Amino acid sequence: MTADREPQGSPVTAVRRTSRGPSAGLALIVVVAAVTLAIAIAVLSGTAPLPAPPPIAVASTAPSAAPAPLRTTQPTASPQVANTILVLRGEADPAGALLALTGCPTGTRSIGYPLTPGIKGSDVDAVAAAAGRNTGWLFVPPGIQASSRVWLGQDLVELGRAVGQPVVAASRTGEVWLGGRSGATRWVPVATPLGRTAWVMATEEFAATGSCGPWPVPTLIDGQRSVTCADLGAPACLEALARVRSDIPGFEYAGGDVAVTVARCAQRALGCTDPPVVAIATPAGWPSTTAELRAATRAPASRTFALTDQNLLPDSPLDVLARAALPLPAAIASPATNACTETIEGMLLGSPWDPRVAWVQAQEVVWPQGTSAWFVPDIVVEVIGKTDGTTAHEFDHVQLTGRRGADGRFDACTMTLGSASAQTSSGVGEVPAVTPGPPAGRGTGS
C-alpha cells in the first residue's frame, strides 16, 4: 500500500502529457559553447578580455514583506467561494435527475462488474495513517493498476468540489451520483473501522446524447458554498432562492450554505394541502445551534418570502439542512410486548456513511419505529415515545431497552439518557454487555 502524499486534480479527467521544452543538458551545451567562442575571439583579436558578466542578482525579501506563516486555524472572515455545488436530495432516481439537468433528450447508461474495486476499510485506514491525512485523495489497493484513487470525507459538497462536478444527487436510500453538462458517474462510500469514509467511483455512468439544451445551473450561485434542493426541481428551487434574495436582502451568509425545500405536512387532514416553501441559510461551517440559522417561508397564498423564527421550523427542513446520510436502521413496526426484556448502556456514536449510521459503543442498533437522526455535523438521535421523547447527541451515554437479535443487532424499544459517569462493562469500540431490563421498560414498545 502506498500513500499519495498530495494527489491533485479530478480522477475522472484524463491526464494529458504536455511538452516540457528543450532539455536542460542541451541548454547548458549552448551556453558553454557561446562563452568559449567569446573568449577565443578576445584572445585572437589581442584586445583586453571582455568584462565578466554581472552576477545574477537574487532578490531577498525584507522581513516586513515576508509572507505570513500558514494558518493553523480557520480564518474568522467568510471564505471566498469560486464555484457553488448544487445538491439534489431525496431523488428517487438520482441519475435521471442529473440527466434532466443536461437538457439532453436521451442518455446512454452503462454499468460494469464488479461495481467497485474490493477496497477494504482497514486498508484505507492504513494508507490514511501513513499519509497523515483524514481527508483528501489517497491511492488504496486494489485497482486496475494495483491501487484505486479514493477520496476521504463525509460531506457530499466537498466530494463534489474534489471531483470537479457541479451537481450532486442523492436518493433516500443513500445512492449518490455526481454529474455535469455531459453526464454523471456513481460514487460509493466505504466505511472504515476507525470511522473514516472513503468514496470510490463505481463502474456505473451515463453519457448525455442528442441535441442538448442550455445548462440551467449557474457556476456561482450568490457566493454560496452549496445550494441544497429537496422536494423541488432544480429550476423551481433556484427561482425560489432568487426570490428570497429579492424579498430579504442579505438573507444568505457569504460563503455559506442554503437549503430550499417544501415543508411536508404532518397531517393533511388539518387542511395542509399546499405546504409552504422554506429556505434556510447557514454560515460557513456547520451550525451547532439553531440560533445560527436564518429561515424564510413563502406561504401558499403568497409569492413573497418572510423571515421565520428558526426555532419553529418543522422537521423536514432540518432533514435537508443536515448532512446527507445512509438511512437509519429502524424497525418497520412496533416490537412485541415481550421484546423489551434486556438493557444496554453506552456511548452514542455515529457516522453518516457507515451502514450502522448510529450505534452504542460498537453495538449495532435497530432503532424504534419513528426514530429520527441528523448530522449537524455530529449525530443527533431522537426517539419519540408514547408520552415523551428523548434526544441524545454524540458521546452522550444512553440506555436502550430491547433485545439482542439473532443477527447480533440490538432491537431497541426505548432510549433514555444515562449518566456520563455510569460504569459500563465495555469501552468505546466494544459491545456493551446485556443486562435484564427494568420492569418499567418492558413491553413499552416505541
Q: Tell me whether residue 67 is in a domain.
A: no
Q: Is the peptide bond before 189 cis (omega within 30 degrees of 0)?
A: no
Judged by phi (left if over 0) then psi (alpha if -120 to 50, else beta), residue 338 lies in alpha
The last residue of a domain, from among 321, 354, 389: 321
pLDDT at residue 387, rounded to an integer? 57
- Does 124 reside within a domain? yes
Residues 203 and 231 in one domain: no
Counting the structural domains of the chain, the total is 3
Claim to verify: residue 205 and residue 89 sit in the same structural domain = yes
d(CA 93, CA 179): 13
Residue whose C-alpha is closest to residue 375's, from 402, 354, 399, 360: 354
Is the same domain home to 202 and 90? Answer: yes
pLDDT tens-digit series, residues 136-184:
999 999 876 678 999 999 999 999 999 999 999 999 999 999 999 989 9
**Same-domain status, 205 and 231:** no
C-alpha cell at 195: 470511522
Phi, psi (rounded to 5 degrees) for 307? -60, 145
How many CA atoms lie less than 13 Å away from 2 in the CB half-sphere?
A: 10
User: 116 and 163: one domain?
Assistant: yes
Task: Specify if 27 maps to a domain.
Answer: no
Residues with Cβ < 8 Å from 148, sequence gap 6 or more?
Answer: 117, 119, 139, 140, 141, 142, 200
Q: What is the pLDDT of residues 338-350, one digit of tens each?
A: 779 999 999 999 9
- Residue 237 and residue 194 share a domain: no
Kindly report whether the peptide bond that precedes residue 141 is cis, defined as omega within 30 degrees of 0. Answer: no
How far apart, in whole angstroms, are the C-alpha atoms of residue 102 and residue 120?
35
CA pair distance 205, 111, nearest whole angstrom: 7
**Count of beta carbons in the 10 Å neighbourhood of residue 423:** 6
Amino acid 29: pLDDT: 43
In a domain, 42, yes or no: no
Report CA torsion sign: 139, 140, 142, 146: positive
- Residues 200, 305, single domain; the answer is no
Per-residue pLDDT of the chain (446 residues), as tens digits, is 544 444 444 444 322 223 334 444 434 443 344 444 444 444 334 433 333 333 322 222 333 333 333 223 333 456 788 999 999 999 999 999 999 999 998 899 999 999 999 999 999 999 999 999 999 999 999 876 678 999 999 999 999 999 999 999 999 999 999 999 989 999 999 999 999 999 999 999 999 998 888 999 999 998 999 999 998 889 999 999 999 999 999 999 999 999 999 887 654 444 566 778 999 999 988 766 777 889 999 877 788 999 988 777 766 677 888 889 999 999 988 777 677 999 999 999 999 999 999 999 999 999 999 899 999 888 999 998 655 679 999 999 999 999 999 999 999 999 999 876 555 555 677 888 888 865 444 333 33
**Is residue 63 in a domain?**
no
Per the domain annotation, does 43 fall within a domain? Answer: no
Q: How many CB atoms lie within 10 A of CB 194?
A: 14
- Residue 53 falls inside a structural domain: no
Parent domain of 420:
342-441
Residue 55 counted as domain residue? no
Query: Which 3 state secondary structure label does DSSP give 125?
Result: helix
Same domain assignment for residues 200 and 99: yes
Residues 204 and 307 both lie in one domain = no
Please state, in angstroms and rounded to a whole number, the distance separating the CA atoms of residues 191 and 92.
Answer: 24
Q: Are residues 309 and 357 in the same domain?
A: no
Radius of gyration of the chain measured on its C-alpha atoms: 29
